[in-house]
Amino acid sequence: MSLKVRCANNANGCQWEQEFRNLEEHTRATCNYVQITCPSECTQNGVNNAPLHITVLLKKDLEENLNNDCLKRSVLCPNCGQRGEFWDIRTVHPANCVEAKLHCTNELCKKEFPRRELAGHLRVCKFQLIPCKYAEIGCTTKDVLKEIEKHESDRKIHFPLLLRSFVALKNDYAVLKEEVRILNAPDRFVFKFPSFEQHKNEELIFKSGPFFTHKQGYKMVVGITPHGYSCAKGTHLSVHLYLVQGPFDNQLTWPFSGTLHIELLNQLDNNQHHRKTINVEGITIATGEDEQHMVGWGIPYFILHKQMGYCPNKKCQYLKDDCVVFRVVAHVAEHKTWLQCTTTFI
């Protein structure tokens, strides 16, 4: 048993060489070059990096590892003094540490504050970028308080924005007004046609603005030809009615059927109005508002020109002050009342 041997950890740097009978005791108790695992079970690649194995080191390096290298060693946060594992204090804790030093988020401010003080500083920081008070009408400028006040007083910059905003509001109002008018449309339509004598020699069809047969009803247009249409040229006033595409067509009954009354109103008394009636059946849905897509009906011989002037015996006058007044009354087939809308989504 006096045979001399070397330590099995010779390759790791152990210089021990003694009798064989002492080898087991040396390896178990005194050899500092034996390989061990970190008692904290730290890993060589970091806790969050999916390590392959727990850290393996020489026994002689254990104290150094526990004090300086182990990712799970206990340390204090250098800012707030909170104790925790090294890996947590270095990677997770800084995002929540109330004493961690943070730079002011305003680019021009160079100051640094603990996290717990930053919010208060931002409320009073003179370098805080403030949006222009005209941001709602399109101004995108942001600047520090002193400069933003100068900017806001510049009329050359903001007057065009105000003007555009006013125009946009005016347009929105016009659209809303038209929608309200449509939703509250009466079941009869009255319109004036001025300068009749001037237009009587023109072979043109003059169209009215659109109207609706009833509330949320069919959309129509009246056309008149003062000179007369087709075989009635030069002798009669001709009248036309057109069915055009409207906003409520999907909730109406198709094909279109109904009775349309066209009246030339007596401007002296509320009687003896000149009336013509059109009965319509089986007209399919209109597809547009241009002449090519209008569905229409005409009355070429609506009234003789010579019947439109003053008639003392009947106390009747249809053409007065070079103006004529028409009224259209529509009676249409039952429509889909359950689909009538009271409001729409914005």
> Residues 257-278: what's their mean pLDDT?
91
- What kind of architecture, by CATH, is found in domain 186-339? Sandwich (2.60)
DSSP 205: P
How many CB atoms are located within 10 Å of the residue 125 CB?
Answer: 19
> Residues 304-322: what's their mean pLDDT?
91
What region does 252 belong to: left with phi over 0, alpha with psi -120 to 50, or beta?
beta
Token pair in block for residue 316: 């009747």
Q: Kindly report the pTM of this predicted structure.
A: 0.45
Token pair in block for residue 326: 């028409």
Tens-place pLDDT, residues 170-187: 888 887 776 666 556 555
Pairwise CA distance, residues 119 & 106, whole Å: 12
Tens-place pLDDT, residues 220-251: 899 999 999 888 899 999 999 888 888 888 88
Pairwise CA distance, residues 265 & 106, whole Å: 74
| pLDDT(131) > 60 | yes
In this prediction, residue 69 carries a pLDDT of 79
Mean pLDDT of the chain: 82
- Band (pLDDT 50/70/90 cuts) for residue 51 is very low
Residue 271, judged by CB atoms within 10 A of its CB (0-12, 13-18, 19+), counts as: exposed
| pLDDT(48) > 70 | no
Token pair in block for residue 260: 């349309």
